[in-house]
Amino acid sequence: MAVFFNEPSRTFNEYLLVPGFSSGDCIPANVSLRTPLVRYRKGEEPELHLNIPMVSAIMQSVSGDKLAIALAKEGGVSFIYGSQSIEDEAAMVARVKNYKAGFVRSDSNIRPDATLADILELKERTGHSTVAVTDDGTPNGRLVGIVTGRDYRVSRMSPDTPVSSFMTPREKLITAPDTTSLKTANDIIWDNKLNSLPLVDKDDRLCYFVFRKDYDEHKLNPNELLDAEKRYIVGAGINTRDYKERIPALLEAGCDVLCIDSSEGFSEWQKRTLEWVRENYQDKVKIGAGNVVDAEGFNFLADCGADFVKVGIGGGSICITRETKGIGRGQASAVIDVCKARDEYFKRTGIYVPVCSDGGIVHDHHITLALAMGADFVMLGRYFARFDESPSAKVNINGSLMKEYWGEGSNRARNWQRYDLGGATKLSFEEGVDSYVPYAGKLEDNVQQTLAKVRSTMCNCGALTIQELQQKAKLTLVSSVSIVEGGAHDVMLKTVKDK
């Protein structure tokens, strides 16, 4: 006979947090949102963590390199979408890793006999205004000059003007040896009022650049998530089909953490993928798996070696899996069940496997509810799709600015690998829709406001860390009537004209 769950399948909207005692120290400024990203053993620290409990969904309309950079500045991680060619995904990862570092290998290089037209084409392609002029045009050639936007005026110069005639020549450049420390390099930049400092070896070959903007951005973004080389941390999505070719390319590009992108993770295909990773890379490669909605699914993936487990089937705003297939579970019920299994697994094995709540989050307070229910971090799609940094187009719909947002299971994305069950190599029917979401501006402004609400609610619960919130949280089910009571009611709201 089929297994029946006694409790209804519940969503985040059916719960409220009940306030706890707030001490004098319980103020938002004292709240830490640091949380583990990958598995670790009892008594040890995870090799990767998040400074904020937010990661972006593995979606074409969400996680490109621009959003990955913006989110890493805030302390979170993006998982670059995998429904593209291996080369294109690896290139996105590389752009994130090369965007910000203490020591940057130059990817904008040119020969002195090139022209202004070549400079403009290179700037268009790379987006960088600082161009190294080397004798052979390579990143490690002998440095002969530098070109920046201040060295030329397009309106007054011919496109065929040679670079050698307007570059800042080597003899006028301030450089430093390639053995210079980052602190010393930054001191040289400030003392000499430079925007960049080339580091060269004993043969005067270019090794690195150190940029003033990197120092400035670090001071402006105290939560930014960096690796040991001061580069932004970035993740990437993979599938269970071409992983043997895709994973090596992503690692070569510098990817820090992988995640299997699948609508359902309790499968032989994910087991094979995880076993291949462990056989070839042991624990050096960090990889999450999912999605699952119950304890059995969690234990399966944890035993297979997943570094974190994603929870949620059918709860995304553009997902119609429950509608088309009748499969899934309310996100709150799924998170509670899986996190209970996570804690039991930790007691039994001494290994903590973080849980990511993926889907079902509509309002900012749903993030706090997911954390209180046990999730270590949340994955968001619609939330991030609204921002300037997402890859989708901004459009005007009936006078309102919107951004396009489509599911990986939609006819537009046609990401059949995500829904693959070992059958035909095509998307047989849609499990996602093509839609619009209201344009919301910059990621930075919105994330900071969202997290201000999370920190405030945590203080109301008497918690200064996510772990403390999970220990102290008190949750109550709400009725349909109390949901109405929770919003503005029995008043006539003022319109803009009234104000």
Instruction: Tell me the catalytic residues.
Output: 319, 418
Residue 389 near residue 412, CB atoms below 8 Å: no
89-110 burial by CB neighbour count: b if 16+ within 10 A, else e? bbebbbbbbbbbbbbbebebbb
What values do phi and psi take at 373, rounded to 5? -75, -5
Coil, strand or helix at 110: strand
The tokens of 216 are what?
């400035």
Rounded-to-integer distance, Cα 57 and Cα 408, Å: 10
Q: How many CA atoms lie within 13 A of 381 on its CB side?
A: 24
- Compute the Cα dihedral for 89, 93, 94, 98 and give only its sign: positive
* CA-CA-CA-CA torsion sign (118, 119, 121, 126): positive
Is there a contact between 116 and 166 (Cβ–Cβ < 8 Å)?
yes
Structure tokens at 242: 């071409």
Identify the CA nearest to 373 among candidates 340, 329, 345: 340
Does residue 291 have a cis peptide bond before it, meaning omega lies within 30 degrees of 0?
yes
CB 406 within 8 A of CB 318: yes
Distance CA 362, CA 473 (A): 21
Helix (H, G, I), strand (E, B) or coil at 118: helix
Distance separating alpha carbons of residues 474 and 485, to the nearest angstrom: 20
Contacts of 172 (CB under 8 A, 6+ apart): none
Q: What is the edge-to-edge ordering of all strands in the sheet holding 176-177?
A: 176-177, 196-200, 206-211
Tokens of 179: 């053995």
